[in-house]
Amino acid sequence: MRPSVLDPYFASVTSLPGIGPKLAPLFDRLVAEPGQPARILDLLLHLPRAGIDRRVGASIADAPAGQPVTLAVRVAEHRPAPPGRARAPYRVLVEDETGDVTLVFFKAQRGWMEKLLPVGETRFVSGTIELWDGRRQMVHPDRILDARGFAALPDVEPVYGQTEGLGTRVVAKAVAAALERAPALPEWQDAAWLAREGLPPFRDALAALHQPDSPLALSPEALVRSPARRRLAYDELLATQLALGLVRAQAKRPAGRAIVPDGTIVARVAAALPFRLTASQERAVAEIAGDLASGRRMLRLLQGDVGSGKTAVALMAMAIAAGAGRQSALMAPTDILARQHAARLAPMAAAAGLSVAALTGRDKGRSRSAILEGLASGTIDIVVGTHALFQDDVRFRDLGLAVVDEQHRFGVHQRLALGAKGEAVDVLVMTATPIPRTLALTYFGDMDVSVLSEKPAGRQPISTRALPLERLDEVVGAVGRAVEAGARVYWICPLVAESETIDVAAAQDRHEHLRALFGARVGLLHGKMSGRDKDAAMADFASGRTAVLVSTTVVEVGVDVPEATIMVIEHAERFGLAQLHQLRGRIGRGADASTCLLLYKAPLGETAKARIAIMRETEDGFRIADEDLKLRGEGEMLGTRQSGAPDFRLADFAADGDLIAAARDDARLVIERDPNLEGERGQALRALLYLFERDAAIRLLRAG
Ligand code: ADP
Ligand code: MG
């Protein structure tokens, strides 16, 4: 149960004055997790991007042009638009001892203007001064206030990220009201540590960030060092480490059931593999077998670059579980990937008499109940699925092993949710996104790790080339010749943030264009297609019925068509490095040489240029990940959401590296001293876990 002190934080934003049914969906879109209603907490964690100084700064003569200023002025004269020229602006001349400024308004009403700016009176005016013909003017000031209104205004006005229909001032008002509702909370951090680091309490940190006392306090440079932001970042990191630590502590309890398989099933699956495992696959399988056979619960990360063959390792692990009579679940991030895995695994599993099913959001009605039935009765040995596996009515006869593919797409709490579906479930998580050291620590705590350090033999290096989009026709010609010669080609159209519809349109256009040239051998795949059409498009491409697959980034993770040898990426400059690496990883999977063409729009910015250079230089995922972190480190304060980094709202890996290690040590100490979070600090820490949505870990406390 959530501690009741948190209730005001978890109340809906609609409980704030002025937020009714019209504004609520806008706030949902702006601050909440997709599909969730916005809560006061979400609003408070929506930090301002900048601050505008509303203190009266310079006199008119000294006020700088081109940036927001606030002036105290006397209203000198109104100059309405001349009669008959309704489109001419309404001007008001204002002055102080040092000079004058013309305020310019379009579509202004005389009566209203005279009330707003009475001649002879003093008013406070904020806005941006421009020079026009050597004269100062201010078009549509942001604010015009009398002395009373001005006194009520904060010195620094926060500026928020906004969404269509919801301006920064409405957000600011809501945040101010939210701050009033939000109570101080019992301290969960070590008091001595806070004092030493000079960090404020949680509630004060929020207030300091939303109501800064200087506009500079919100600049990226100041934020990196800001005690208020660091405090919240540390809270988030500690919540994550604590959740991981609790999972870990539970895993270490000897509650696991030893999985000792019947060797024939494992041997049959191994014999059905169409290749011999590489040495590092063998090693990983042996490490996993060791974990499973031990009485303690497995929590292992399998890390291997794209194309290194993680799926085969997962299959062997699941065969071991099945050999001991227990079921396995393999979680994939997308519907396409789940179905691909199921289709791949089924024949090899069948060779050992095991049955495989797929379960995704697409399964409804009778087909879904048949699968649920098979899982509950145990006739299904291996299920491959998406988030649909987490649903409450999915029950297993005896789930022994949960495998999570493309781990970075899932959160800690989701991993936990699967683990809770069986008794002493062993967990294997697989990731292709190479994770730099600091991130690994943050994300996985101290899990056991197996690494696939080599790719299957016989792979050839991918040749990567960059070309400006002007040379599209040449590329199309070359693709045409390659298709004639029997090649299979991915053609990726980029994802434009925020608008799936536009992306899809771009892919559809390119599909039509190529189809006009190459005929029916050009397929199309995007996220808005029905599940069945997606399957058909994938199946056509895998079987060679289509030779070119025009697609949005839905093929980014995991898709495996070894015959594909060409990857064209349009607008490569719009992709992050991790994403480019993932996309390129779709080719170079067979014995034939592969080519990746990065089409970019010239001129390239510095970062995009560096990214493309790195892509051309190396295929090594670890190097690419390190370079990625370097390139993204600066400038992108809070932008860790994309491409493989875990969902942190506040912590920043470049700036807060020192805090990550501190949080891990702190979490360890807490768990050692108060493993069930029952003491005074433990109780407060429970609240912290809820605030940062790491509360699934609390369920473990109860279960254990
Ligand atoms: P990833 O690690 O990216 O998930 P996959 O498991 O999809 O990689 O494997 C990539 C490709 O390599 C697949 O086509 C798979 O069948 C093939 N493969 C995996 N292991 C081997 C091996 N030991 N020898 C040859 N091919 C292999
Ligand atoms: Mg994979």
Q: Provide the CATH number for the domain around residue 349.
A: 3.40.50.300
Same domain, 273 and 329: yes
Which among 382, 443, 393, 395 has a CA at the least distance from the CA of 423?
Answer: 395
Residue 703: the pLDDT is 44
β-pair partners for 122: 74
**Which DSSP state fits 470?**
G
Q: What is the Cα 65 distance to its own chain's centre?
A: 39
Same domain, 60 and 36: no
* Strand duo 90-96 + 68-79: pairing: antiparallel
Contact 379, 355 (CB under 8 A): yes
Per-residue pLDDT reduced to its tens digit, 60-77: 988 888 888 899 999 999
Same domain, 484 and 338: no
Backbone angles phi, psi at 639, to 5 degrees: -90, 60
Residue 367 CB partners (closer than 8 Å, separation 6+): none
Residue 701: the pLDDT is 61
Given 153, 170, 200, which residue is the final one in a domain? 153
Whether the predicted pLDDT of 508 surpasses 50: yes
Q: How far is the CA of 405 from the centre of ligand 2 (A)?
A: 7
325-353 burial, b at 16+ Cβ within 10 Å, e below that, comes to ebbbbbbbbbbbbbbbbbbbbbebbeebe
Q: Residue 591 and residue 459: Cα distance in Å, rounded?
A: 5
How confident is the model over 142-158, as a mean pLDDT?
Answer: 87
Given 132, 153, 174, which residue is the final one in a domain? 153
Same domain, 432 and 494: no
How confident is the model over 534-551, as a mean pLDDT?
Answer: 93
Per-residue pLDDT reduced to its tens digit, 509-531: 999 999 999 999 999 998 888 88
Count of structural domains within the chain: 4
Residue 458: the pLDDT is 82
User: Does the C-beta of 275 come closer than 6 Å to ligand 1?
Assistant: yes
pLDDT band at 222 (very low <50, low <70, confident <90, very high): confident
Nearest residue (by CA) to ligand 1, atom 15, is 309
Same domain, 95 and 123: yes
Nearest residue (by CA) to ligand 1, atom 9, is 309
How many other CB atoms sit within 10 Å of the CB of residue 491?
25
Percent of the chain topping pLDDT 90: 51
Does residue 277 sit within a domain?
yes
Q: Residue 523 and residue 528: Cα distance in Å, rounded?
A: 15
Does residue 548 sit within a domain?
yes
Q: Which ligand is located closest to the Cα atom of residue 305?
A: 1
476: three-class secondary structure by DSSP:
helix
pLDDT band at 39 (very low <50, low <70, confident <90, very high): very high
pTM of the model: 0.62
Please report, for residues 73, 503, 576, the alpha-carbon distance to residue 582 in angstroms, rounded to integers and kept in the order given.
59, 19, 10
Residue 574: the pLDDT is 86
332, 336, 341, 342: CA torsion to nearest 10: 110
Q: What is the mean pLDDT of the chain?
A: 86
pLDDT band at 591 (very low <50, low <70, confident <90, very high): confident
Q: Domain with 70 in it: what CATH number?
A: 2.40.50.140
Does residue 669 sit within a domain?
no
Q: Residue 490 and residue 556: Cα distance in Å, rounded?
A: 11
Same domain, 23 and 167: yes
Q: Residue 66 and residue 69: Cα distance in Å, rounded?
A: 9
Lookup: tokens for 190: 């070590």
Does residue 657 sit within a domain?
no
Whether the predicted pLDDT of 256 surpasses 80: no
User: Does the C-beta of 562 come closer than 6 Å to ligand 1?
Assistant: yes
Nearest residue (by CA) to ligand 1, atom 17, is 309
Q: How far is the CA of 52 from the centre of ligand 1 (A)?
A: 55
Q: Of all atoms in ligand 1, which is nearest to the CA of residue 311?
A: 6
Same domain, 268 and 149: no
Does residue 102 sit within a domain?
yes
- 3-state secondary structure labels for all residues of 319-366: HHHHHCCCEEEEECCCHHHHHHHHHHHHHHHHCCCCCEEEECCCCCHH
Percent of the chain topping pLDDT 70: 89
Whether the predicted pLDDT of 596 surpasses 90: yes
pLDDT band at 686 (very low <50, low <70, confident <90, very high): very high
Stronger pLDDT, 423 or 447, i.e. the higher one? 423
Given 424, 452, 480, which residue is the final one in a domain? 452
Same domain, 361 and 471: no
Residue 250: the pLDDT is 66
212-238 burial, b at 16+ Cβ within 10 Å, e below that, comes to beebebbeeeebeebebbbbbbbbbbb
Which among 685, 693, 655 has a CA at the least distance from the CA of 227?
Answer: 655
Residue 635: the pLDDT is 30
User: Does the C-beta of 328 come closer than 6 Å to ligand 1?
Assistant: no
Stronger pLDDT, 571 or 704, i.e. the higher one? 571
pLDDT band at 398 (very low <50, low <70, confident <90, very high): very high
Supply the range of the domain harboring residue 9: 4-51+160-225
Nearest residue (by CA) to ligand 1, atom 5, is 309
Residue 255: the pLDDT is 59
Contact 700, 246 (CB under 8 A): yes
Please report, for residues 30, 56, 280, 589, 591, the alpha-carbon distance to residue 457 in angstroms, rounded to integers and kept in the order given.
48, 70, 12, 10, 9
pLDDT band at 641 (very low <50, low <70, confident <90, very high): very low
| First-residue to last-residue Cα distance in the chain | 16
User: Does the C-beta of 579 come closer than 6 Å to ligand 1?
Assistant: no
Q: How far is the CA of 227 from the centre of ligand 1 (A)?
A: 47
Residue 684: the pLDDT is 95
Whether the predicted pLDDT of 412 surpasses 60: no
How confident is the model over 86-111, as a mean pLDDT?
Answer: 91
Same domain, 471 and 564: yes
Same domain, 542 and 492: yes
How confident is the model over 230-244, as a mean pLDDT?
Answer: 90
pLDDT band at 443 (very low <50, low <70, confident <90, very high): low
Lookup: tokens for 396: 């297993």
How confident is the model over 676-703, as a mean pLDDT?
Answer: 81
Contact 138, 103 (CB under 8 A): yes
Does residue 232 sit within a domain?
no
How confident is the model over 557-574, as a mean pLDDT?
Answer: 90
How buried is residue 449: exposed, middle or buried, by Cβ count under 10 Å (0-12/13-18/19+)?
A: middle
Q: Which ligand is located closest to the Cα atom of residue 457?
A: 1
Does residue 562 sit within a domain?
yes
Same domain, 143 and 174: no
Stronger pLDDT, 449 or 644, i.e. the higher one? 449
Does residue 688 sit within a domain?
no
Same domain, 393 and 353: yes
